[in-house]
């Protein structure tokens, strides 16, 4: 796969494919930046700290069965329950491969959920962040 | 050839506005642009299409214009009817009639009458100045 336009990404949340309700998606893989600078070097020295990976998405709101709200609401963490679930994102449809890798976490959580958000007359959209309790993996098979 | 989505939407608008025809007594509604529109008439014009408002061909945004030509002699009673079409509390309200079924019978996901131009004077070939207005409608479609 060469250069491409994002229009056919595959987004799966807890086993439900919601690709056609996703307006924006990002896979964010970060490590904390730990400063280990010492005297005499004249530069900052960095070490990778704890990983802090997450997926961020903007959904077009949909309250139909097996769509956005029906999928996300049961996953929302509460005082008594913090479900961990799988989130997977691929650049485009088709088989997972070295040129179409799947970025996956099996330990995502949902801490904040805005089922309705929008100004009068705007499309109803829902911005969601899925923090991952493990490093996101890059699968090629 | 099966009807396209845009054809279905045009037909949906025509159905939604049938009330204005009042059993053939008043305004005619054409789903298509007319070569020589004779007031009072409404024609439906597709406008800008924004493809891919959601990933994986999840949906498009299509703008439509509902163009009403009400009268070509500026008759006061016709102006009163145009006022009624502009007024969203009136039974002739274009906004109310179109938004009464925001899926147009299940053809689309949602719609909204966004704005109306207010009084416009159109120059139609062979008819002189014609009074009317344009309503802009935002339509959201879904491929599934």
Positive or negative, the Cα torsion across A21, A24, A25, A30? negative
Work out the pLDDT band at B144, boundaries 50, 70, 90.
very low
**Does the CB of A20 have a partner CB in chain B at under 8 Å?**
yes
The arithmetic mean of pLDDT across residues A84-90, rounded, is: 98
Give pLDDT, residue B111: 97
Q: What is the pLDDT of residues A38-69, one digit of tens each?
A: 999 999 999 999 999 999 999 999 999 999 99
Whole-number mean pLDDT of chain B? 93
Give pLDDT, residue B127: 82
Give pLDDT, residue B2: 58
Predicted TM-score (pTM) of the model is: 0.85
The arithmetic mean of pLDDT across residues B1-21, rounded, is: 90
| Residue A103 pLDDT > 60 | yes
The helix/strand/coil state of B5 is helix
A to B CB pairs, distance under 8 Å: 45
For tokens 């903007």, the residue is A58
- Determine what percent of chain A is predicted with pLDDT higher than 70: 100
Closest Cβ opposite residue B140 in set A9, A25, A123:
A123
Residue pair A108/A72 in contact (Cβ under 8 Å)? The answer is no
| Residue B117 pLDDT > 50 | yes
Given an 8 Å threshold on Cβ–Cβ distance, is B58 in contact with A93? Answer: no
Spatial separation of the C-alpha atoms in residues B83 and B87, rounded to whole Å? 6
Work out the pLDDT band at A37, boundaries 50, 70, 90.
very high
Instruction: Say if strands B128-141 and B59-71 run parallel, antiparallel, or are unpaired.
Output: antiparallel
Q: In whole angstroms, how far apart are CA A74 and each of A5, A64, A89?
A: 32, 14, 20
Residue pair A109/A77 in contact (Cβ under 8 Å)? The answer is yes
Which two three-digit tokens encode residue B105? 């019978």
Which two three-digit tokens encode residue A101? 């890798």
Residue pair A13/A126 in contact (Cβ under 8 Å)? The answer is no
Give pLDDT, residue B78: 87
Tell me the nearest-neighbour CA distance from B58 into chain A, angstroms.
4
Given an 8 Å threshold on Cβ–Cβ distance, is A23 in contact with B54? Answer: yes
- Determine what percent of chain B is predicted with pLDDT higher than 90: 82
| Residue B75 pLDDT > 90 | no
- Burial status of residue A104 (CB atoms within 10 A of its CB: 0-12, 13-18, 19 or more): buried
The helix/strand/coil state of A95 is coil
Tell me the nearest-neighbour CA distance from B108 into chain A, angstroms.
14
Spatial separation of the C-alpha atoms in residues B41 and B33, rounded to whole Å? 10
Q: How many CB atoms lie within 10 A of CB A57?
A: 25
ipTM of the complex: 0.79
- Determine what percent of chain B is predicted with pLDDT higher than 70: 97
Spell out a b/e string for B11-28, using b for 16 or more CB atoms within 10 Å of the CB, else e.
Answer: bbbbebbebbeeeeeebb
Q: How far is CA A34 from the centre of its chain?
A: 24
* Residue of B51, B54, B110 for testing the chain A interface, max A β-carbons within 10 Å: B54
Contacts of A16 in chain B (CB under 8 A): none
| Residue A99 pLDDT > 60 | yes
The arithmetic mean of pLDDT across residues B68-89, rounded, is: 91
Closest Cβ opposite residue A21 in set B52, B54, B112:
B54
Q: What is the pLDDT of residues A66-77, one digit of tens each?
A: 999 999 999 999
| Residue B4 pLDDT > 50 | yes
Given an 8 Å threshold on Cβ–Cβ distance, is B56 in contact with A22? Answer: yes
Sheet strands (E) in B55-127: 59-71, 110-116, 120-124
């Amino acid at each position: 796969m060469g250069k491409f336009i994002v229009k056919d990404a595959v987004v799966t949340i807890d086993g439900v494919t919601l690709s056609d309700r996703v307006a924006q998606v990002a896979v964010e893989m970060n490590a904390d930046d730990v400063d280990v600078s010492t005297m005499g070097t004249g530069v900052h020295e960095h070490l990778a700290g704890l990983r802090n990976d997450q997926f961020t998405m903007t959904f077009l709101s949909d309250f139909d069965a097996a769509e956005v709200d029906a999928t996300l609401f049961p996953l929302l963490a509460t005082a008594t329950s913090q479900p961990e679930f799988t989130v997977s994102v691929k650049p485009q449809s088709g088989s997972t491969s070295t040129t179409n890798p799947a970025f996956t976490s099996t330990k995502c959580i949902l801490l904040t959920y805005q089922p309705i958000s929008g100004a009068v007359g705007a499309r109803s959209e829902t911005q969601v962040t899925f923090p991952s309790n493990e490093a996101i993996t890059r699968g090629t098979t | 050839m099966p009807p396209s989505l845009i054809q279905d939407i045009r037909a949906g608008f025509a159905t939604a506005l049938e009330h204005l025809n009042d059993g053939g007594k008043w305004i005619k509604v054409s789903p298509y642009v007319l070569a020589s529109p004779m007031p009072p008439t409404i024609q439906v014009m597709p406008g800008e299409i924004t493809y891919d408002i959601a990933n994986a061909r999840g949906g498009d945004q299509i703008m439509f214009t509902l163009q009403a030509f009400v009268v070509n002699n500026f008759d006061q009673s016709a102006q009163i009817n145009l006022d009624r079409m502009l007024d969203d509390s009136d039974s002739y309200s274009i906004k109310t009639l179109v938004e009464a079924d925001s899926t147009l019978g299940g053809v689309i996901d949602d719609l909204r009458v966004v704005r109306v131009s207010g009084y416009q004077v159109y120059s139609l070939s062979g008819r002189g100045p014609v009074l009317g207005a344009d309503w802009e409608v935002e339509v959201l479609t879904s491929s599934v």
